[in-house]
Amino acid sequence: MDETDELLSIRAAELYYEENKTQDEIGQALRLTRWKVGRLLAQAKQRGFIRIEILHPRARRLPIERRLREERGLDDAIVVSSAGVSSADELQARTAQAAADYLTALRPVPRTLGVSWGRTLFEISQHLRSGWATGVNVVQINGGVSLNRRAGTAAATAVAMAQKGGGNATLLPSPAILEHLATKEAIESDRVVAGVIELARSADAYLFSAGPADHSSVHIESGYLTDADVDLLVQKGAVGDVVGRYIDSDGNIVDPALDARTVGLTLEELREGRLRIAVIAGQSKHPVADAVVRSGLCSVLVTDEATALHLLDG
Amino acid sequence: MDETDELLSIRAAELYYEENKTQDEIGQALRLTRWKVGRLLAQAKQRGFIRIEILHPRARRLPIERRLREERGLDDAIVVSSAGVSSADELQARTAQAAADYLTALRPVPRTLGVSWGRTLFEISQHLRSGWATGVNVVQINGGVSLNRRAGTAAATAVAMAQKGGGNATLLPSPAILEHLATKEAIESDRVVAGVIELARSADAYLFSAGPADHSSVHIESGYLTDADVDLLVQKGAVGDVVGRYIDSDGNIVDPALDARTVGLTLEELREGRLRIAVIAGQSKHPVADAVVRSGLCSVLVTDEATALHLLDG
DNA sequence: GGCAGTTCTGCTCATATGAGCAGTCGGTGC
DNA sequence: GCACCGACTGCTCATATGAGCAGAACTGCC
């Protein structure tokens, strides 16, 4: 296509998309046949001169979703558009909304849903509508957040999801990480705790997020780990955590001793679920998102456009 | 339109614009009739959820051009798109290119073109192609820039335009502003200078830019005015200069004494031209652009999208 | 200059889309 | 309970658009 044609295709595109003229009218204006105009428009599109964006908080990017399914072997992918997003919080909210939508539309409806906790999960629970399901029981799959100053976020998440879904919540009454292995083993052998974990193993679907391995981690905020602990994990290759367990970029446990003191489903147990929905958004989580997807921890990913593109160009 | 329909229209838009499905196929996917799909798409457009941008350095914004003509009484307006522009320089270049395109396409071809000088005009001269016209004579309409360190820019502008247009340049051999009124009158009574000005008065078209009234002014750079002079002009209400003459927001001369020492066409003489093309781009020139358009100094405006929108919401 | 391969052009025809209209539904006021 | 109004639905029909094709024009090569 020569320079003249390129310019003509821009003129044609202006008249077509901004002035809503027909290709025939454009032909008359530019002294071209309407077929030529059609071809110029096709070329303008094909060369990427025309950008069409859907500006809406609920807008998704279907082509990117398809690529994630095809190139990353996911069973499903939900990618929210970041067009017109001004803050990281807004992006997080959009992603949580999309996750809530996905859960609501899920067929068959899971009878038991295993969930982790954290800011993302809490937000999803808030975006779910009452009646999003009928009779969904929610069970926690990893140890809770009792030390957190916003106490009860973990419990509130599971309870809200269950209530709005017309079912019951089963909480895992245990810290996330114990100081001593013996304590952890004692807790897990407790009848109640063991029962919850057993229930969690049998869940129809898992819903979890992932945290970045940096000082903003909830484990630091909750007092389970110190800044120094996290620095050490990062040195060992940690990119983030999933259900409280720190993984490297291949999805392997970084620190087996620490992992042994962590209460809840192990990554192997998690991987045995047939439907494993990860919800991960935001720049800081790009590395964990990559690890989670590459290592097959999730079968379904809900994420934002930038994160999805990051996963695809790796 | 209720919430459900809004969401549906977004889903439909995704399938239509991103997946290139037909409205019929979308209907099957979403369990709607194809007419409903068509209506949803129409509403999505109408509510502004669909944004179509033309990404190209030569792209223009025709609807804004139309509004400028209709609401600001311009004979013509050229508005370059700022979609995908990263720097002020790039925007300036796009605008200059558009001005060059406009000149090239101008019919009837002017036999004599009166031009001012400055960065914008120089850039236009560089963007013009050899042979853009056949036999256009170019005449300077205001005093030159001999004190400038980049000496000869003003002359180079006029000469390049004339050469590429197959005609001759007539330069105005005079400073822009004289220190004493007597000197200015002496210069203007010089046979050569008087002849050039006479020629300028008879030009078929004028092409000029405008400068902001701030310390970045070319008059300061060229040594005709000091920082203090400009501060004083601003205090008196100056928003910028056109052909070397400082105007307020109504387009009136701010300082008649200074104006009397300025060589070249007066604003009244400029206004008598039938075709007066102003090329003004960039954030810092919004106030002058406003004054130029409101006071009818130009009949045609070449500008950028942001400046145009500024003119329209005043 | 002539020839083969390629691109470009203007067409026909099938399909996709938008305008306009009559029937239907759901709510409202009496 | 019923007549009325307005909004919505599914249609017909006219128009706009894209696919595909045959001939024209142009290119490089001998």
pLDDT along chain A (314 residues), means of 10: 87 96 96 96 95 96 96 97 95 97 94 95 95 94 68 84 95 91 94 94 97 91 89 95 96 96 96 97 97 97 98 89
C-alpha distances out from residue A62 to A308, B108, B148, B189, B226, Å: 11, 51, 57, 73, 59
Q: What is the mean pLDDT of residues B4-25?
A: 95
> Would you say the C-beta of B33 is within 7 Å of strand C?
no
Q: Do B55 and A48 touch (CB under 8 A)?
A: yes
CA gap A280, B120 in Å, rounded: 49
Quote the pLDDT of residue B151: 54
Q: Do B50 and A55 touch (CB under 8 A)?
A: yes
Give the pLDDT band of residue B310 (cuts 50, 70, 90): very high
Here the contacts of B178-184 (C-beta below 8 Å, separation 24 or greater) are B178/B261, B178/B262, B178/B263, B179/B261, B180/B261, B181/B257, B181/B260, B181/B261, B184/B260, B184/B261, B184/B262, B184/B263
In 3-state terms, what secondary structure has residue A282?
Answer: coil
pTM over 0.85? The answer is yes
A positions 184-243 inside 8 Å of B (CB): none
Q: Which residues of A touch B102 (CB under 8 A)?
A: none
Is residue B106 within 8 A of residue B75, CB to CB? The reply is no
Tell me the helices (H) and strands (E) count for chain A, helix number first: 15, 11
Nearest to A262 by CA among A224, A217, A221, A210: A224
The DSSP bridge partners found for residue B242 are: B245
Average pLDDT, chain B: 94
Query: Residues B67-125: pLDDT tens digits?
Result: 999 999 999 999 999 999 999 999 999 999 999 999 999 989 999 999 999 999 999 99
- The answer, for B56 touching chain A at a CB cutoff of 8 Å, is yes
Comparing CB atoms, the residue among B7, B49, B55 nearest residue A49 is: B55
CA gap A102, A89 in Å, rounded: 20
> Would you say the C-beta of B38 is within 7 Å of strand C?
yes
Measured to protein CB atoms, the chain C nucleotides within 7 Å are 8-12, 15-20
Nearest to A204 by CA among A285, A254, A136, A116: A136
Q: Do A56 and B49 touch (CB under 8 A)?
A: yes
Q: Do B7 and A51 touch (CB under 8 A)?
A: no
Which of A41, A50, A51, A56 to mutate against chain B (most B CBs within 10 Å)? Answer: A56
Which of B54, B64, B94, B104 to mutate against chain A (most A CBs within 10 Å)? Answer: B54
Nearest to B247 by CA among B294, B188, B291: B291
Residue of B nearest to A53 (CA): B51
